Amino acid sequence: MRDAKGRKVAILGDMGELGENEEQMHAEVGYHAAKNKIDLLICTGKISDHMAEATMASGGCGEVFAGSDDGGTADLSAVSDPERGYRAGKGIAFHAF
């Protein structure tokens, strides 16, 4: 994604079955996102909070949305904010396991 033209968006969920280093490995993904200047990072899942925290600590992404409910989905209501440049009629659907 580093060389992609235009807005770079990454939607990432929990990576299961990583064992005892799962928190560190999720954080490494966050550092990678920051290094590659992702414009919008959406993290969903309880372990993916480590991705979001590492990304924000590195200061490399334009915006980071993170969170999960009991179903493992992020609250993306803020992503549809037109003041952030998101136009009506555009949408993103995803499912994370």
4-21 CB burial, b ≥16 within 10 A, e <16: eeeebbbbbbbbeeeeee
What would the pLDDT profile of 5-50 be if each residue is shown by its tens digit? 777 888 888 888 889 999 999 999 999 988 888 888 888 888 888 9
What would the pLDDT profile of 47-79 be if each residue is shown by its tens digit? 888 999 999 998 878 888 787 655 545 555 656
pTM over 0.85: no
Rounded (to 5) percent helix, strand, coil in the chain: 35, 15, 50
